[in-house]
Amino acid sequence: MPGIPSLVSKASVTATPAAADLYQRYGALVLRRARALLNDEQAARDATHDVFVKVLSSLEAFRHEASPVTWLYRATTNHCLNVLRDQSRRGRVVPLLRALPPDAAPSLDERLSLTTVLARVPDELREIAVYYYLDQMSHEEIARLTGLSRRTIGNRLVEFHAAAKLAADAKEAVR
Amino acid sequence: MNVPLTRRSVECVSDLTIDRWLLGETPGSDEARRLEQHMQRCAVCAARLGSLRNLYSNQPDPVATTTARALEAPPRPSPAETGVLQVIVMRDGLLVGTEYFTPGRWVVGSAPGADLTLIDGPLGRHAALTFHAGTVGLEAREGVVFVNGVRLQRAEVRPIDEVWVGPYALRVRVITERWSWPAMVTQPLPAPPQAGPTIVEPPTPQDTRLEVSMWWGDTRVSTCCATDRLTAGDVAALGFERPVLASRGALGRWDVTTPSGALTLSLHEATAVEHGTLKLLLKVTGAPAALGRAPSRERLFPAVLLSTLVASAALLVSMPERTDDEDFSPRPLPAVTIHVTPPAPKPPTPQPASAPDPTSPPAVAAKASPRHQRASPPPPKNRFEALDRVMRSATSATAALTKLGSPGARSRRGPAGPLVAMPGVGAPLLAVGVGTHDSTVGRAGARLGGDMRGGGYGREGKVGGLVVGPVRPAGLSLPKKDGGHVDRDAVAKVIAEHLQEVQRCYEASMLLEGSSGGRLLVEWTIAPSGAVAQAKVASTSLKQASVPQCVLTALRRWAFPKPKGGNVVVSYPFVFQSSSFR
């Protein structure tokens, strides 16, 4: 019976090439989306590592995935949204409206930042909003990805937009 | 990176689609084919693709790099500090050696202090090389210099020129790094020293031009070139949203006005205007005749090179573009072609009831139904009455009309609804149903053109497409020469391929304008080139005001099969159904 150290070394030897390949192939993809969602370079790198830990823990399932990119999209999104929720619980203050040059006259949608709005809306709206605004997916793509109906996608996006405007209006009123 | 709550254009593809294509998940699929076709006409998505490709090939992320560059603001090298000059020294046809110089002024000769020592060459400080802003100048000092066999005092030296200094032949070569952003000018630079040998005579205003290009990171998105002035319209045409103006001033310099101020660019200088992640690069370049050059023995070389390039480009254009993962194999399509006969050239005249024209619509109905023929009804007052008459007798006329209109579609797809023969003004009018079930939408949510069936007049709930021939049903006057014909299945295929864009128009309007169903009847003219010559909304019952304009904008970019014989007018209703969406 091999000892624990030998098992660990064997596991690490067998896992290393797969992990390295996966990371090399999909690491930039995950990091790019985490960076966009978290708006923090260090947090994005941490999130990337966490996502790949999840991948390695369910490596066999991942290998049989029809579209690893789609799987990683969902995993990254859910993980980053959890991180954002934890941050808001810890009271991390992020400005709601983006700082833009004074000469620009942007609409409210341009001033609102996805990251900051995400922290202020209910959970069920956030994932869909990420796909819609960050990844520029259509309703049909989101429906395929999440398994929800297109009607539900449309409903939730309307709710998200209303919630974002409500948050912005409240912010303006406080000023 | 702050992601705004905005969307790209409605027809743009998502990041997920690009990612899957880049990471090799969709080779040869319809999705990949649509993406490749879209990339050829959408600069925004092409830029996005280039950005992500750089990212995944371990290149620095252009967006992140741009941000870091903006924050750190490292000093950029001035134009005079870019590149390295390589001088190749030959004697008797053999390579003697090479030497490298940074920008500056360097002495050539056999004197002890010479920077490029030519042993056994002429004594003293024979000549001087000046290397400045990527340009090499040569000046004879204590000796004699021949450039391309002609004795000169000063000259600019290009890589194709041959310089003779005593028994040595010199060639120059300017080595730059991997292409990088040209040095940016933020304030007017002093005029170049006139004493330098680089430029024999100052360039005249006709000798410089401004190259304008738009970049996403290190990816060139679009390029134009202004010869004498750059207007805001030129910049807007490139897709850049900040106002930038430029005009040529004295001595071939360019006066550039940017949102951050005005500046002057001299030859080989450049500046960039940033807006978001896009950059507009303005670079002043010189025409070859601007500088006092040595007489060239290779006068014919540019012409030969140009003609070779043109021939190569023509060959490339004529060859079908293929890559490994592209799927351009012809898709099997049913060979169903409807030829719409041009109208008779005679002017419309009322037909007597006793002797009906066999080509007139009542006669069509009569031919379909012998009972009608026996009844010999009076001629209809107008086309709508005639049409109603036809539709009332649909039970018997349907088969005849279907037979008249589209035998191929009927046999292939079963009964596809009645094909409508609408009476024209004294001339036959044929309208054929598009008849396709290719729609991929029409499931839950907004339902768009789900049941596309041939013909749609008076049949509530059916969505139809009409490829209308030379006579317009709505009474619009089109010249008779416009009568052409086109493969209706091919038109239907193009519409089906682009339905997603229409779908996105509808989805984009949902957020701001609410959702409610409706019918949008669009009419457009397909020119002989296959492009959409004109498009308009014939009627709409949609409440969303943005949808018709969005659909028209998307429609004008579609490429249809080339009709034969002239223009073809297509009328197509899109039906948006949103049963319980709020």
pLDDT in tens, A44-82: 999 999 998 888 888 777 777 778 888 899 999 999 988
Min Cα separation A4/chain B (Å): 37
**CB atoms < 10 A from the CB of A129, how many?**
23
Q: Which residues of A touch B56 (CB under 8 A)?
A: 28-29
Query: In the predicted model, is pLDDT for residue B217 greater than 50?
Result: yes
Average the pLDDT over each of A20-29, A36-45, B143-152, B512-521 and give the range with the smallest value: B512-521
Are A107 and B11 spatial neighbours (Cβ–Cβ below 8 Å)? no
**Mean pLDDT throughout B413-422?**
37
Query: In the predicted model, is pLDDT for residue B552 greater than 60?
Result: yes
Are B522 and B574 spatial neighbours (Cβ–Cβ below 8 Å)? yes
**Cβ of B4 and A68 within 8 Å?**
no
Q: From the candidates A45, A137, A138, which should be mutated to test the interface with B, based on the most B CB atoms within 10 A?
A: A138
**Cβ of B6 and A132 within 8 Å?**
no
pLDDT at B300: 56
Q: From the candidates B1, B5, B242, which should be mutated to test the interface with A, based on the most A CB atoms within 10 A?
A: B5
Query: In the predicted model, is pLDDT for residue B66 greater than 70?
Result: no
Residues found in chain B: 582
> Which domains, and CATH codes, for chain A?
1-93 (1.10.1740.10), 96-175 (1.10.10.10)
- How many angstroms separate the CA atoms of A59 and A53, rounded? 10
pLDDT at B476: 34
- How many angstroms separate the CA atoms of B484 and B502, rounded? 26
Q: Which of A113, A141, A151 sits opposite B444 (nearest CB)?
A: A151
**Cβ of B443 and A35 within 8 Å?**
no
What angle (nearest 5°) sits at the alpha carbon of residue B279, between those of residues B275 and B284? Answer: 130
- How many angstroms separate the CA atoms of B205 and B266, rounded? 11
Specify the 3-state DSSP secondary structure of B87: strand
**CB atoms < 10 A from the CB of B322, how many?**
8
The fold for domain B83-175 equals Tumour Suppressor Smad4 (2.60.200)
Specify the 3-state DSSP secondary structure of B433: strand
Considering Cα of B18, then B23, then B24, then B26, what sign does the dihedral take? negative
Query: In the predicted model, is pLDDT for residue B98 greater than 70?
Result: yes
Q: Taking Cα atoms as reference points, which of B217, B318, B206 lies closest to residue B251?
A: B206
* Half-sphere exposure in the Cβ direction for A31 (13 Å, CA): 19
Select the more confidently predicted residue: B113 or A93.
Answer: B113
Q: Which amino acid is at B41?
A: R
Task: Provide the pairing of β-strand B532-540 with B518-526.
Answer: antiparallel
pLDDT digits (tens, 9 = 90+) for B281-297: 888 877 643 334 444 44
Say if B7 is an interface residue toward chain A (CB within 8 Å).
Answer: yes
**Cβ of B16 and A25 within 8 Å?**
no
A114 to chain B: closest CA residue: B3
Q: Which residues of B touch A150 (CB under 8 A)?
A: 443-446
Mean pLDDT of chain B: 66
Are B520 and B542 spatial neighbours (Cβ–Cβ below 8 Å)? yes
Helical axes A68-89 vs A41-57, angle rounded to 10° = 130
What angle (nearest 5°) sits at the alpha carbon of residue B274, between those of residues B269 and B275? Answer: 155
Say if B70 is an interface residue toward chain A (CB within 8 Å).
Answer: no
Q: Domain boundaries in chain B? A: 15-59, 83-175, 430-577
Specify the 3-state DSSP secondary structure of B558: coil
pLDDT digits (tens, 9 = 90+) for B473-501: 333 333 334 567 888 888 888 888 888 88
Q: Which residues of B touch A145 (CB under 8 A)?
A: 16
Compute CA distances B542 → A38, B11, B496, B511, B516, whole Å. Answer: 39, 20, 21, 15, 7
